[in-house]
Amino acid sequence: MLSLAVSSPLLGHRGFLGAAVCALGLGSAPARATAPEPYRLVYEAPNLCPDAVAFMDAVRSRTERAWFVTTPGMVAKTVTVSIQASERGFVGRLEMTLGTEPSSRRFEESSCAELVSALALVTVLAIDPTAVLEDRQEPVGRAESPAPAPPTPREPGSPGQWTMKAAAGVSFLSIWGPASEPLLAVAPQAEIGLSTEPGWRLGLRFQPVFAETGTFGPSAEEASFRWQALRLGICPAFVLAEGFELGPCVLSDLGALRVEGEGVPQKLHETRPWFALGAGGAITFTRVAMVSLSGGALFPMVRDRFVMLPDRELVYEPEAVGSSVELTVGMRFP
């Protein structure tokens, strides 16, 4: 591994830095094109060092070919700067992916500001060998002081950082399993979503559901069914494109099922606990509003047999496997 000690008297000499760039394997052939190229900066440094914005400003002030982007999913070359404190000052590592193979080298300086200046100048020459480097009177960034500075905020979507978004909407459901006929319901839904690069999201959904045969859907002949439950869903999703997500869902329903006999002189009713687990998938579009279509299988954990007395005629027994289809329309909030 090649280690290069960079000191401030050498920062203003183009010849030295040009040789350093070539020696480090970060240089590229001179190009006539002046159109800016997209670069994605990954920057980590102690609090007292210049931040990522100061580094980008130092590079952009030397060349117009550096265009730093933050949009997730956009194709861009990567510039990684990592700085740590050492016994003799600060050690910085610069990694640049300009071709097919990334190049990574190590630099060392007594001052963090001067180290960042050197890293910025080497980055300029690697991006644009035709850049004009003028002497600077001061190092890049703020002067070091005893007062601690706030931590450098990472840009949204940076590797390792989670972002949270809440969502709310209205769901239209069709459920097979709790009753002898399909149950149709309209229910509110709330969601808490956590997302990070490289493009996936974890959604936690909460939904109180109430449905009754004959209210929205068909009526049962021998009994009426009233079902109410709290539905919880865990839905990880992969962001396939901007505004389009696809992934699996795991569901659980916890509530109660009330069955009341029909066509008998004395109506009898029974309320029993209801618990079911489910698995399926969801497709979500978030261009303007949030529109999600999900469905899957339900597996009742409680399967009571409802009979009509005195003949003990079987009215209904839930099947081992049911199903659920759901369409949700709502909004996500930053």
Q: What is the pLDDT of residue 14?
A: 46
Number of residues that this document lists for the chain: 334
Q: Which residue has the higher pLDDT, 291 or 216?
A: 291
Q: What is the pLDDT of residue 50?
A: 92
Residue 117, Cβ neighbours under 10 Å: how many? Answer: 25
Per-residue pLDDT tens digits for 46-75: 988 999 999 999 998 888 888 888 888 788
Alpha helical stretches, state H, the chain: 14-24, 52-60, 112-127
Q: Which residue has the higher pLDDT, 70 or 293?
A: 293
Q: What is the pLDDT of residue 1?
A: 38
In degrees, rounded to 5, the angle at the alpha carbon of residue 131 between the alpha carbons of residues 154 and 66 is 30
Q: What is the pLDDT of residue 199?
A: 77
pLDDT at position 311 over 80: no
pLDDT band at residue 288 using 50, 70 and 90 as cut-offs = confident
Per-residue pLDDT tens digits for 103-155: 788 888 888 999 999 999 888 888 888 776 654 445 555 544 445 555 555 44
Cα→Cα distances 68→37, 38, 74, 175, Å: 8, 6, 11, 49
Domain borders along the chain are: 3-127, 163-333
Per-residue pLDDT tens digits for 90-102: 999 999 876 666 7
Per-residue pLDDT tens digits for 200-256: 889 999 999 999 887 766 666 667 888 999 999 999 998 888 788 999 999 999 999
Q: Which of 117, 133, 105 is nearest to 18 (CA)?
A: 133
Q: Which residue has the higher pLDDT, 102 or 77?
A: 77
* Residue 319 structure tokens: 């099947």
Q: What is the DSSP secondary structure assignment for residue 8, as one 8-state letter?
A: G
| DSSP letter string, 129-185 | TT------SS-SSPPP-SSPPPPPPPPTT-TT--EEEEEEEEEEEEEESSSSS-EEE
The three-class DSSP label of residue 218 is coil
Q: What is the pLDDT of residue 221?
A: 65
Q: Which residue has the higher pLDDT, 43 or 31?
A: 43
| pTM, to two decimals | 0.51
pLDDT at position 303 over 80: yes
Looking at domain 163-333, which of 1.10.10.370, 3.90.380.10, 2.40.160.20, 2.30.30.30 is its CATH number?
A: 2.40.160.20
pLDDT band at residue 158 using 50, 70 and 90 as cut-offs = very low
Q: What is the pLDDT of residue 134?
A: 55
* Least trusted range by pLDDT, from 2-16, 155-169, 182-196, 207-221: 2-16
pLDDT at position 18 over 60: no
pLDDT band at residue 310 using 50, 70 and 90 as cut-offs = low
pLDDT band at residue 269 using 50, 70 and 90 as cut-offs = confident
Q: What is the pLDDT of residue 143?
A: 42
